[in-house]
Structure 1
Amino acid sequence: MNDNITEEDRRSALLVRNAMDSAVAELPAPHDLVPAAVTQGRRRKTRARLATAAGITCVAGAVLFGSLTLTAGGDADRTVRPATSSTPSPHQSVQPEPYRTPIHIDPTSDDERAMTNLPPTERKRRAQFQQKAAVLLDKLLPDAVGLIRPVDLDVSRYQGEITDGKVFTIIFSVRPSGDGPDSKHCPSAALAAKGGSCKQATLPGGIKATSLRVITDSSETMSTDVHFRYGRSDVYVSIEPDVNAKASAPVTSEELLAAVGDSRFLDLVRYADEHPMQKKQTTIAGG
């Protein structure tokens, strides 16, 4: 067959073979072709995924921006804010608890003098308790009592101040119980004759409480108090009048009973009962 090929065809065939050999010589060895192809395929797939993700992000961003723009463009009061997570991010600021500057008094009783000698950690614990109590009482009592602040050397004393200058002393005492009865009976006849009143109520947990509205300090002013037994303690809360201004305590028995029956207030009472901050009493407070 080769004898029938002309010299010109032989030269053309030789040129084609040489060109093919030269092209093949530039390729990697046969066993390297598959890994190279796989690597190239992976790179192409990765680029495709990145392009797809970028496209989705752009679309999502455009939709979100558009929705926020439409919302802001309407009534601001109708703006819907996204739900916040229960766990604040590191960049979110946590609002501090309200702080009430304590009222300083010079010690005049043994209890007040004893508090000045308490270890710093114990004084801090009592001060923190008073801060919580002052803020909570401010929420639970009528606005007419004013801004409630703690007294620094008496864990059971607070003070309500209103803008017109009236000042109401507030007692919140949780003291280990003595041997007295759980609560008083209402002396209705004698109390009514003096213009006072007595209310009894059952607080959450079946706690029996008694509230008195009585003349205090002068014939023109009245105080309101409530007392009850909690755990191993006697609890006494009293709103005293401002004698100088001849202003009675601006709290009714019903309002005070509602305040001390609040679950948040009873949480404070429970803490004070479990971690006493006052000495055991031998008589019922307010008796």
Structure 2
Amino acid sequence: MYVFMDPAPGDEPVRDDEELLVRTAMERATDGAPPLPDLVPGALVQGHRRRVRARAAMGAAAAAVVGLGVLGAALPVWNGGGEPVRQWSAASQTSPTPDPTFTAVPVRPPVHIEPSAGETSMADLPDDERSRQQVFQNEAAGVLETLLPKALAPVRPVDIAVNRYQGGAESPVFPLTFSVRPLATGKAARADRACLDVAVKHLRCDEVSLPGGIMAQAITAAGNAEGGKTITGVTVRFRYGHSRVTLAVGGDTDAMVSAPVTADDLLAVARDAQFIEMVAYADERPMESKEGSVRGG
């Protein structure tokens, strides 16, 4: 997985986690807005490891609940229907009476994937950082489920890395990637990949303008041909702040079913304010290593 790293010297200072998440939550509460009704090989070729799913670890769910209480006075988490459900934390109680009304926070059971030999997972993170990433994943999964086509519901976190998710109930299931990865600096800095069409490889890339003048690449690519069938996956990637953002949905390589989304579907997500809020938080307080860092090491 991507190992968490503090911002490198010279980067802009970031705000405290609690302040950022509380600010985001309170802004949502006061806005009163209604709920909204590369190519990434890892997303297209997850292989059989994605199928190694176990029952959700109760400890992980409990840690996420604890994280919700610590990080937010009223942190919204989305349920399957997209309605925000709020839970009051102990920190928000100014007096013992009257007692606040507690509501159950829907914690999405994560999909479990056993790491390969030499590979790390979120379970290897320090407790505080693991809890923070679990809270982020839980909320991000709700936002993605609300914004993506219903064929991808439910969207659940995958416990091997903070940027991994899974869409679909049983079969087919689709790997999702939502990555906000810090850009490398200095000699390690990478140029943006060219946006190219390659007809022989069934690859199409379009450059699209997002709000704020952000230029994104929307990529549709076919791969994993088997038995006369070819599955297709879709990726949108762009720069935001000090990070490279990737949103990708791959096909089910076992069932040989293409991703049930289009490039326009992912671009609609990338334009949404809820999604950009998640991106902004992860950009200010990274959860992945910088580009060029070694995974699992």
TM-score band, normalised by the shorter chain? 0.5 to 0.7
Q: Which residue of 1 aligns with 2:202?
A: 195
Q: Which residue of 1 aligns with 2:59?
A: none
Q: Which residue of 1 aligns with 2:15?
A: none
Work out the CA distance in 1 between the residues paired with 2:269 and 2:106.
Answer: 19
Q: Which residue of 2 aligns with 1:245?
A: 255
How big is each residue's C-alpha offset from its partner over 1:214-262, in whole Å with a ceiling of 9 and x where there is no partner? 0122261010011111111111111010011110011100110110121
Q: Is the 8 A contact 1:168 1:242 kept in 2?
A: yes
Work out the CA distance in 2 between the residues paired with 1:132 and 1:257.
Answer: 20
- 1:177-192 to structure 2, matched below 5 A, reads 177-178=183-184, 179-182=189-192, 184-188=193-197, 190=198, 192=199
* Structure in which a larger fraction of residues adopt helix: 1
Q: Is the 8 A contact 2:122 2:159 kept in 1?
A: no
Matched, 1:210 2:217: yes
User: What is the root-mean-square deviation of aligned Cα atoms in Å?
Assistant: 2.5
Q: Of the two, which has the highest radius of gyration?
A: 1
Q: Which residue of 1 aligns with 2:112?
A: 104
Matched, 1:223 2:233: yes
* Matching residue's letter, 2:174: F
Q: Which residue of 2 aligns with 1:262?
A: 272
Q: Is the 8 A contact 1:199 1:253 kept in 2?
A: no
* Matching residue's letter, 1:171: T
* Matching residue's letter, 1:187: L
TM-score calculated relative to the size of structure 1: 0.61
* Matching residue's letter, 2:112: H
Q: Is the 8 A contact 1:144 1:162 kept in 2?
A: no
Give 1:116 shift: 2.6
TM-score calculated relative to the size of structure 2: 0.59
Work out the CA distance in 2 between the residues paired with 1:147 and 1:125.
Answer: 22
Q: 1:161 to 1:114 in 2, by over 3 A?
A: closer
* Matching residue's letter, 2:247: V
Work out the CA distance in 2 between the residues paired with 1:211 and 1:97.
Answer: 34
Matched, 1:282 2:292: yes
Q: Is the 8 A contact 1:241 1:249 kept in 2?
A: yes
Q: 1:186 to 1:150 in 2, by over 3 A?
A: same
Q: 1:114 to 1:94 in 2, by over 3 A?
A: closer
